Structure 1
Amino acid sequence: MNILLTGGAGYIGSHTYCELIDKNHNVIILDNFSNSEKTVLKQLELIVKKPVEYIEGDILDFSLLKKTLSKYKVEAVIHFAGLKAVGESVNEPLRYYENNVAGTINLLKALDAAKVYKFVFSSSATVYGTPEYLPIDEEHPLNAINPYGRTKLQIETILKDFSCSNFDMKIAILRYFNPSGAHHSGLIGENPKGVPNNLVPYMMQVANHQLPFLKIYGDNYQTPDGSGIRDYIHVTDLALGHVKALHFLNSTQTPINIFNLGTGKGSSVLEVIQAFNKACGVSIPFKVEGKRDGDVAVCYAKNERAKKVLNWQPVFSLEDMIKSAWKFQQKNKIS
């Protein structure tokens, strides 16, 4: 199958690229490199042992999208391209709505014109907002509480409406929980620009003496050790979920298919720190600060639908995530 990955040079996109190539698909990457590096392409070539087909461009460029879909005879799209920092979205909401929402509308218009009818969307557990019950299943009420989450929720709504007007369209919406870890080769992994927003890359930079200490936001939650609990899923498990979802679209008659991708269990911030200390033999200094607005005590997925319908099963442990992320950090001398 000829597959276009928008944002395919990013963290999750690049890992999904590897898994798709492993399944003998033809994959084209479209990326504007606003939140990724071109060096990732060379790393991908080392992993898959073949040249990477890529286009430097933006999903807001309708003409480029049309040309790309036609030139490569694209049969399916996995849509990763999007801005994704919660704090930044609060400060720059219009930029987030333009890129994420308007960009996706532009992409859907191009797909409609090109008669491309298989679409996998990179959504987020942020669409659920503050959990009303646990574990969170796909029927949980949707109540995004920040601009980033609201862009994801608006796109989901647009996809549902679009599918009602185009009966050939088959869409998978994948709601991620907390992706972590790196490729087993150590060649690609999470390398955010600036101070990391996510726990694991932040820990890696502290361990590598790039940051003085880890900030823990709150230690008096109603949890066993007082720190917040999240559902951390290995990025390779997440990538394999996209492959399974894409294959599922080849057989389903259901227009909209929504799946949580998480492990189904949570780990606290302090547990993740302890796992790093044990797995890597490096002690992580940390300081406790006040809770952040919008943070919740506990959040983890119910993933039974993905297990049953997609035949998908997360296999990597928290220790696997930590070790692979540290291998990537050490191998690439991230700075």
Structure 2
Amino acid sequence: MLTFFSNWNSWLAKHMFYVVLSALFFGFITPVETTKFWSLVATLSFTYMTFVSSLETSLKDFFRTLSRPWINIWMLLLIHGVMPLIAYLIGLIFYPDNEYIRLGFVIGASIPIGVTSLIWSSMLGGDVPLSMVAVTLDTLISPLLLPAFIALVAGKSIQIDTMQLLVGLFWMITIPSLLGMVVHDFTKGAVDKYATSIGGFFSKIAIFLVVFINASAIAPEIKWDHAIIKLLLVILIVSVSGYTLGFLGSFILKGHQRDRMITMIYGVGMRNNSLGLILALTYFPPAVAMPVTLSMLYQQPLAALIASLLKQKQPAPKEQGC
């Protein structure tokens, strides 16, 4: 049974683009009524995803990596400092009179690292421990950073219940992340088999549910016309900017190691769009969620394209002497 779920979990992990795309497709063509029930399902699904993703992380490894914090600090500075500024400037250039679209760009750029960055980093030989700690640390500090950042950017024109947002993020991210690491240490890693089989499989189902529910909620706000084409093109610019920033930022690191470069590219470029959707739809008008929703169309395809380029540039193994 574990082998069955493990194989399916592995297959879904390699085809996350199709999982997300199908969820978006069904959400757009078969919208469900936005109710407290479906909102609760989306929130609980996301909480479960966070918990499962942290089951393979040890508290000891987490704190050990924190003893060398400079790389993570640099990544977080790029993610929560430089990239939101780039997204805000792009929004200001293309949408000077639409504060909600601009805010959507900022939220999409300032939300935590996407958990799927771990998958891509692992498949391409990246620094997996660094990637795991970066994702975990980012999700733990996001409840403190996001409310402050959003209030700084949009607080003058949009009323934000910062305390409600803070509490919601702690319940969706911080608590399940810490609980997952505690369970990992308590079981001495035995729970890893669950995380990579049954737990991992249903976490992919949870991703589908979160995307489907939120896409369904935003569907009535989308009018497929020239305005959407413009928005899609601008979102593509923002998405490419994230991956490019991670690549350029890796050259600052001492030695510019390939494994760290890969982790930087996906860590800075990929975002937890499921969380962004929940935040945008829970605390802001639906228009704010449009950039976050539509960015899902690019994240996985761009990740696959970058993977192809990295494989082409992969250094050939050195020949062994006789």
Please give the range of the TM-score, normalised by the shorter of the 2 chains: under 0.3
TM-score by length of 1: 0.26
Pick 1 or 2: higher relative contact order, CA cutoff 8 A, min separation 6: 2
TM-score by length of 2: 0.26
Q: Report which of the two has the higher share of strand.
A: 1
Q: Report which of the two has the higher share of helix.
A: 2
